[in-house]
Structure 1
Amino acid sequence: MNVKIPRGTQDILPEQVKLWQWIEDKVRHITKKYRYEEIRTPIFEHTEIFQRGVGDTTDIVQKEMYSFQDRGGRDLTLRPEGTASVVRSFVENKMFGHPNQPIKLYYMGPMFRYERPQSGRYRQFVQFGVEALGSADPAIDAEVIALALEIYQTVGLKNLNLVINSLGDIESRLKHREALINHFKPRIGEFCKDCQSRLEKNPLRILDCKVDREHELMKTAPSILDYLNEESQEYFAKVRQYLDQLGVEYTVDPTLVRGLDYYNQTTFEIMSSAPGFGAITTLCGGGRYNGLVEEFGGPETPGIGFALSIERLIAAMEAEQVEVAFDDQLDFYIVALGDKAKDYSVKLLADLRNNGFSADRDYLDRKMKAQLKSANRLNAKYTIIIGEDELEKGEVQVKNMESGEQKEVKLAEFIDVVQKWSNRKEK
């Protein structure tokens, strides 16, 4: 029996989970400020959802999906990204008819891609993303970008670079597509097989190739910005204007195309420039995907969003040596000595918890010294010492672990007394 964890996955142990929960709390607080609401979709969907939504020419669909047939012969896939599932749900549940528009959603959960595992990149990873559906206003593009940046800044990252581009509307992309085909076709045989197959299907994807990125034709490829029609130029100018108003620093990169077929108009990436972060610097990517809702059978509905990996975010925090202080102090630890004291400690423990305190006790029948060491390791504020003598007197010894001060407290008054201590601390 193979009892090792599958390659490309990880166990997130309790000490690490504290950081994950801290990040998740920050993210939820930010999305609440921006009025994005959580949506939860299935971990697996019909394979066609991703083939149509993500695009047949993408690496995700061609190489990275975990697909299988269920017992009914249906083709299913573990979700490799979140947008396609959200758009499917948007259409299926007729959210386009909701009176409050645009629909602003976020998701957070595991995604699955079969790719080479490396630092901060796993085959099962947790992705957070937002989707704003129903508005073609460039101001919401700026809002989505600002939201993504705020997440990274809130967790303490400083070495951030925002790169933006415009892929234009359909008319602009068709003209650029023709120019790309004419540019690459005479020497397409010098490129990888993936690029050769993409030449006619989606030549824009050639610009995103990792194998041939140093080829000289890549450096001289026609820029999409030279093929933007007037409407697309004005749209991109407005997005930049709003980012400027928000004080968001950015760089325009005409080669930024992203790895998914559904993007048009605004695209963006946030990258880390932290020393030692690694060769792959991208933290987050997103953009506008007008037309995707129609692809799923819904009405004409513009949309924009982004997605980020929590694992990559944590890797960036480690590279920048961001320190996080967790408030995980234990309120009370009960040191019980003798059988009667142990029996009584069960009820005392429940009383403390029922009154809102965090509390624990020894379950290994250890001596007093070992129990006090355990209280220290658990970072207890107070230790309650109770033995048979204390029970006979109807009192307990309460030790302040920080000051070392120890007091006798009557059992009958114990909860009221510690509640008053707690109230004084809060004030």
Structure 2
Amino acid sequence: MPKKLIKKNTISSVPGTRDLQETDYFNYQGLFEKASEIALYYGFNPIELPILEQETLYSAGTKENNKQNEQKLHSFQGEDKTQIILRKEAAPSITRIYVEKNLQTTPQPTMFYHYGSFFYSKFAGDNKTPVENRRFGLDILGTNKSIADATIIKVIMIILNEAGFNDLYIQINSIGDKTSQQLYKKALVSYYTKNISSLCARCKKQLKINPFTLLLCNNFNCQNIKIGAPESLAFLNTPMKAHFREVLEYLDAMNIEYRINNSLIGEFNYYNQTVFQVMENKNTKTPTTTKKTDDKQGKANTQKNTAVLATGGRYDNLAKQLKLKKILPAVGATINIDRIINSPSSKAISSRINKKIKIYFIQLSFEAKQKSLAIIEILRCAHIPIMHSLTKDRLSAQLALAEKLNIPYTIILGQREALDNTVIIRNMSTCAQDTVPVDQLTTYIKNKIK
């Protein structure tokens, strides 16, 4: 009788998402633990943001400047007919929490760090695909002091250094407050109108809608026109100039290399004043300086040998865009964790929960299995990491696993040991073994197994 054909498994993950297991999981976990440790030391407190938010929270505050690469919201309708979305950015959620929980009544500033997946949707024809991106973020709310901007940048740089990135610099700019931006916008419209015949079709349309988007266009002609475009720094008022100067002075004092990129405006329209990107020099032979350089070629977007590892800036305008009564000074940044982990420059950071295993626990007989979990709990309470396979019965199968994993010691609990309340500890390389009472097990291990 012919064998039945086995149907191919059609269950799969959602395109744009990624499973993390074993080594991948611990790589991400190790980086998160190190970033959290650094953030806590600098005064940031942990917060976990909900995966879901009301669509109005994002649509009001996160209109993108770069319409060419717009990341659409992935939304669905809730039971009360409100639109619900998978979170896309941290800043709207952080602002909501600050206001909803009345955090303005607590000692200021409020400092948060957070980690998790964020989502946007890409369109290919009529198909909408959610894309997952893991990020680590820092936010300081309730102060407009320039030291807050500098603190965010410094802590982001420290985290990236710990992750193995040593050839870094900051691209930075200031787009000022609302008044400064209005003057800058007017100058951009005037300049690009004079060159409108050379613009691409998209930029001709965007010139009337949002002229800032023209600075982000990748069209060759538009890139060349951008080189002569007005610079936002020329339109800053006195307080905005002072704030930006102070931020740069902090960077100088901390020996952080930076380059002023006059076309950097931030990804979203809620940004104001300081905007920045943390860049990696892929050409490590490039000499490093700690002083300011004007990135004139940045206007033409010719940074071919760099990668953006983190982005950030001030978002004082976001609270008002969310229909709140007044401006809420805030600054934040996020690290693209997926890009960090997958970069050749990245170094693995050991997770505290993934300790080196030196002991494999082996059990033989039903009586031994009955006592196994109690002994494993004794070892856990003593912070002694082990591996085991309680579902296996044969000694040979369990020893084979210990050998395959190159684990140097085994704890063996057989029927006799279960009755005597003892275990056998065996050195896998010498085959020497000792019988140890269970109540002396942790002391023996800590004294004998280094």
Give the structure-2-normalised TM-score.
0.82
| Alpha-carbon shift at residue 72 of structure 1 (Å) | 2.7
Given the alignment, which residue of 410, 416, 419 partners 2:440? 416
Q: What residue is the counterpart of 1:80 in the other structure?
A: 88
For 2:117, give the aligned amino acid.
P
Distance 1:61 1:281, change over 3 A: closer
1: distance between equivalents of 2:219 and 2:267?
A: 14
- Aligned equivalents of 2:373, 2:75: Cα separation in 1: 50
CA contact (8 A) 2:359 2:386 kept: yes
Alignment correspondent of 1:114: 121
Give the drift of 1:116: 7.7
> Which position in structure 1 is the counterpart of 2:430?
404
CA contact (8 A) 1:286 1:305 kept: yes
* CA deviations over 1:303-357 (Å, ceiling 9, x no partner): 11111221011122xx126244565323532333445444544543344335443
2:324 equivalent to 1:300: no
Q: Distance in 2 between matches of 1:425 and 1:143?
A: 44
In the alignment, structure 1 residue 6 sits paired with structure 2 residue 14: yes
Describe the SS at the equivalent of 2:184: helix
Alignment check: 8 A CA contact 1:166 1:225 kept: yes
The alpha carbon displacement at 1:135 in A equals 1.1
Residue in 1 that maps onto 2:42: 34
Work out the CA distance in 1 between the residues paired with 2:170 and 2:24: 28
Query: Contact (CA 8 Å) 1:60, 1:113: kept in 2 or not?
Result: no
- Paired residue for 1:238, among 246, 259, 276? 246
Distance in 1 (alpha carbons) for counterparts of 2:226 and 2:167: 28
CA RMSD of aligned residues (A): 3.1
Aligned match of 2:127: none
Change in 2 beyond 3 A, CA 1:348/1:228: closer
Distance 1:134 1:58, change over 3 A: same
Code of the residue aligned with 1:368 in structure 2: it is L
Structure 1's 399 and 264: CA in aligned 2 closer, same or farther, altered over 3 A? same
**Counterparts of 1:194 and 1:208 in 2: how far apart (Å)?**
11
The correspondence for 1:24, drawn from 32, 38, 61, is: 32
Relative to structure 1, the CA distance from residue 320 to residue 213 in structure 2 (aligned partners, 3 Å threshold; closer, same or farther) is farther
Match of 1:322 among 326, 330, 347: 347
The whole-number CA distance in structure 2 between the counterparts of 1:344 and 1:247 is: 59
| Aligned pair partner of 2:235 in 219, 227, 238 | 227
1:19-418 correspondence to structure 2 within 5 Å: 19-55=27-63, 58-59=66-67, 63-98=71-106, 100-115=107-122, 123-188=131-196, 190-211=198-219, 215-274=223-282, 281-296=307-322, 297-316=324-343, 319-320=344-345, 322-325=347-350, 327-365=354-392, 367-378=394-405, 380-388=407-415, 395-401=422-428, 404=430, 406-410=432-436, 413-418=437-442
* CA distance, structure 1, for counterparts of residue 75 and residue 307 of structure 2: 28
- Cα gap change, 1:156/1:285 in structure 2, threshold over 3 Å: closer, same or farther? same
Kept in 2: contact 1:96–1:134 (CA 8 A)? yes
Change in 2 beyond 3 A, CA 1:338/1:170: closer
Deviations 1:387-409 (A, max 9, x none): 456567764331234x6362322
Identify unmatched segments of 5+ residues in structure 1: none
- Where does residue 290 of structure 2 map in the other structure? none
SS in 1 for 2:434: strand
Shift of 1:56: 6.1
What CA distance in whole angstroms lies between the structure 1 residues aligned with 2:141 and 2:23? 37
Q: How far off is 1:32 after superposition? A: 0.4
Change (3 A) 1:272 1:361: same
Letter in 1 for 2:49: T
Query: Letter of the aligned partner of 1:322 in structure 2?
Result: K
- 1:175 CA displacement: 1.5
* 8 Å contact kept, 1:329–1:381: no
User: Partner amino acid for 1:376?
Assistant: E
- State, as a whole percentage, how many aligned pairs show the same letter: 26
SS at match of 2:99: helix
> Structure 1's 91 and 347: CA in aligned 2 closer, same or farther, altered over 3 A?
closer
Per-residue CA deviation, residues 141-182 of structure 1 (Å, 9 max, x unaligned), is: 111110111110011212322111111222222221111001
Q: Helix, strand or coil: the match of 2:173?
A: strand
CA distance in 1, matches of 2:134, 2:311: 15
Moved over 4 A (4+): 60-63, 211-214, 323-327, 338-344, 388-395, 423-426
Q: Which deviates more from structure 2 when the two are superposed, residues 132-141 or residues 338-347?
A: 338-347
Amino acid at match of 2:362: V
Query: One-letter code of the match for 2:412?
Result: I
1:15 Cα deviation from its structure 2 partner: 2.1
C-alpha separation in 2, matches of 1:231 and 1:346? 65
